[in-house]
Amino acid sequence: MPYLNTTEVESGVTSLAAAFPTADLIELPEPTFEGRTCHALRIGTHHQQPKPAVVLVGGVHAREWGSCEILVNLAADLLHAHAGGTGLAYGGTSFTSAQVRTILEELDVVVFPLANPDGRHYSQTVDPMWRRNRNPAQSGGDPAAVGVDLNRNYDHLFDFRTAFHPLAPVHVSDDPADINQVYQGPEPFSEVETRNVRRLLDHFVRTHWFIDVHSYTQKMLFVWGDDQNQSVDPAKNFRNPLFDGKRGLKDGLVYAEFIDEDDADDSAVLAARFCEALKGVRGTEYTPQSAFDLYPTCGTSDDYAYARHILSGRDEEKILAFTVEWGMAFQPPWTEMKKIVLDVDAGLVEFCLAAAT
């Protein structure tokens, strides 16, 4: 099949929910600017008590077409394998029927394949390199200034001019017409699309893992994105104004973001298991690393998801958060994208299995 359009992604999600008793359709509460309603799936056997959840999100950046296909295919694979009592095979990486059953029995796997349907539709019909959503509120009538980079719109160090060193190469802008399309929006969670993702995290109160699926660079990223990690000095943290103006320098020792050592170790292990399973499919190498090692960011989904437990003070809601950067192009030829789907899905199944066990 070729890349799915927005209607086909939605149809895939709703059809899976209708076909399998282990899939529940979730309607996200806020329609997009162009009036589209988004849906996610909860995959898992039914229990009265909430289970630990893995939340997977895709289609955030409009031009990264294959993220939706990765997640729709993942959902279909898990559901078909569980219903048929079979295992899963992705090239040289395979999973037994017992392992598939463990995932669905021990976890709620929440799959939200298309968080930005307006942007995807525009990218597929008008401008293939479009990245943002299609909210014109801050554009002033300039077509080039329409939209917000949704992965800069989360509530984490949103005031980047205060938080970061003036020389830090942080990939964000407060200019709606920014040529790199990294405009953060007027305020955190100004966009319905990011509020819908937040709603999933609020609803699944036992979310312990979060993965945002993007492209490209063949990496599995874990927090933090604003600076390098350290587990020695808790005072060096994103809430401490003493370090405003010092964050984001790659070659300095001015600052490093505190992360609990166990969280850092667990994140590195999960990222490595994802990469190992992915490599087993056909030998493709993905690199596990901190998000900051790619480039400094703020307002991203993964940093926000992990920071939630720090802001709330409730350790039981701690979310280890990751970003997949699949492939080496935003829209590879479909013959290659089909292989990437298998690569990444093998990694995601392994990730879920590691989380479940």
pLDDT at 147: 98
pTM of the model as a whole: 0.97
Residue 316: phi, psi to the nearest 5?
Answer: -70, -15
Q: Mean pLDDT for each consecutive 10-residue tract of the chain (357 residues)?
A: 93 98 97 98 88 97 98 98 98 98 97 98 98 97 97 97 96 97 98 98 96 97 97 96 94 87 97 98 98 96 97 79 98 98 98 96
pLDDT at 312: 82
pLDDT at 317: 80
Rounded CA-CA distance 137/135 in Å is 6
| 57 and 142 Cβ atoms separated by less than 8 Å | no
pLDDT at 315: 56
Question: Tell me, what DSSP letter sits at residue 144?
Answer: G
| 216 and 327 Cβ atoms separated by less than 8 Å | yes
User: Which conformational region is residue 189 in: left (phi greater than 0), alpha (psi within -120 to 50 degrees), or beta?
Assistant: left
Closest by Cα among 58, 61, 296 to 157: 296
pLDDT at 253: 72
Contacts of 352 (CB under 8 A, 6+ apart): 54, 103, 107, 109
Domains of the chain: 6-356 (3.40.630.10)
